[in-house]
Amino acid sequence: MEFFYILLVVLLLVFTASFTLAIVRTLQVDFPNVHIPPGVDQPGKLRVVHAHMVFTSAVGKILEKIGVCTEITFTRYVRSGKKRGPEPQLFLQDLHFGGVPVRLYLPRVPSAAPRPATIFFHGGGWIYCSIDSHDNICRYIARESGSVVVSVGYRLAPEHKYPAAYEDCLNASIHFMRNAEHYGVDPAQISVCGDSAGGNLAAAVSQTLAGRADLPRLRAQILIYPGLQAVDMDLPSYQQNRGVPLLLRERAAFFALQYLHGDASHKQDVLKGSHVPPEMRQKYKKWVSPDNIPERFKARGYNPQKTHDITAEIFKKFERICEPNLCPLLAEDAVIQQLPESFILTCEYDVLRDDGLLYKKRLEDNGVRVTWCHLEDGFHAILSLYDYGGLSFPSGKRGLDRIVQFIKGL
């Protein structure tokens, strides 16, 4: 019996040592690629948040290797967020709109007139996060703006590839727009909103609904550091912020490929620009080009890279890359001209900054009114950290307050 216990202790020590070593090796691979500029909001706190994310990823990779679960499954569990308690100022209801799970946030204070509403699509690279993970943002918007918020729990990749998330967001939006009065909402005062991947979905849904004569016209679209194209991941912001958390350049490509294909096997092709044929790149150069980005955003450095040749196999894999429902920045002018008033939030230290800047220019060039909020010390996903306990980021709250101000002014 004593031998059995000794053997058990030895095995436990070996497993613990192996587990620790695997984590250390993972951290050694991830951390050297990270750069946190001194100009970001709370750089020390950002290091802590990023370290937690890297540690989560490291544990997930180990669990995947030993067959417990996939890294994505484990990371989803960690990032999914926990259900919060009741909200004194809001009624919360979990429902289904068009077969899609949603959470409704209704202000408790009676209103003499129908309220405005915001349909919210959460971020998370199309593969992470949930209604619960963005519950704090939705509560804040509903509480501070006095409007109804509908948060949509769309299907996630890689299990559900493009266009599943887009279709869920569209179907839930249409259901709500057709039944808005049942929830005390003015059908003419409905906006769509989303952060990161959710901003992509909000832009795509807005474009689709812009041409619908059978539905009320959207009042506005609110795009929070949106990812709007995958044609060129070598724009100035992708170079300058390639190693800035919480979204590294390589992860941006990884997320886009998981959504499009359900795997990231061609990540290097996307990063090198060898996934788009020259004629396609030339066609969209009028919209996706560093020439359309103000010079002040190139001050931190920009070195145009030579694109590589594309093979027929790669081209076939990326035939859908130019679909506006996937890359809203590539929509035709006739569609852009029909879009509602827009709010775009960008962050200086974010790889997706230039996607937002390019879309802002496209909207303004086509006569669409744009309110632009640029967080000079912001980084990707900062709004989600506005009340992150002792690690809160004031710039995130400033961004949220600007969104609330915009909604109240509609």
Weakest mean pLDDT among 121-125, 262-266, 324-328, 360-364: 262-266
d(CA 288, CA 330): 8
122 is catalytic: no
Tokens of 207: 């474009």
How far is CA 354 from each of CA 106, 302, 328, rounded to the nearest angstrom?
Answer: 35, 12, 14
Q: Among 293, 300, 269, 276, which Cα is nearest to 353's?
A: 293
N- to C-terminal Cα separation, the chain = 75
Weakest mean pLDDT among 43-52, 90-99, 155-164, 180-189: 43-52
Strand segments, DSSP code E, in 73-114 are 90-97, 100-107
**Percentage, residues of the chain above pLDDT 70:** 92
Please determine, for residue 19, whether its predicted confidence score (pLDDT) is greater than 90. no
d(CA 370, CA 163): 27
Which among 350, 354, 355, 377 is annotated as catalytic?
350
User: Which pLDDT score, from 0 to 100, does residue 288 have?
Assistant: 97
Which among 135, 380, 384, 395 is annotated as catalytic?
380
Specify the 3-state DSSP secondary structure of 77. Answer: helix
182 is catalytic: no
Give residue-wise pLDDT tens across range 331-378: 999 999 999 999 999 999 999 999 999 999 999 999 999 999 999 999
d(CA 264, CA 268): 9
- Kindly report the pTM of this predicted structure: 0.94
Which among 145, 173, 191, 196 is annotated as catalytic?
196
Confidence of residue 299 (pLDDT cuts 50, 70, 90): very high
User: Which pLDDT score, from 0 to 100, does residue 10 have?
Assistant: 46
Please determine, for residue 11, whether its predicted confidence score (pLDDT) is greater than 90. no
Give the angle 319-228-226 at the CA atoms, nearest 5°: 150
Please determine, for residue 102, whether its predicted confidence score (pLDDT) is greater than 60. yes
380 is catalytic: yes
Please determine, for residue 58, whether its predicted confidence score (pLDDT) is greater than 90. no
d(CA 70, CA 380): 25
pLDDT, greater one: 325 or 23: 325
Handedness of CA 204, 396, 30, 273 (dihedral sign): positive
Please determine, for residue 3, whether its predicted confidence score (pLDDT) is greater than 70. no
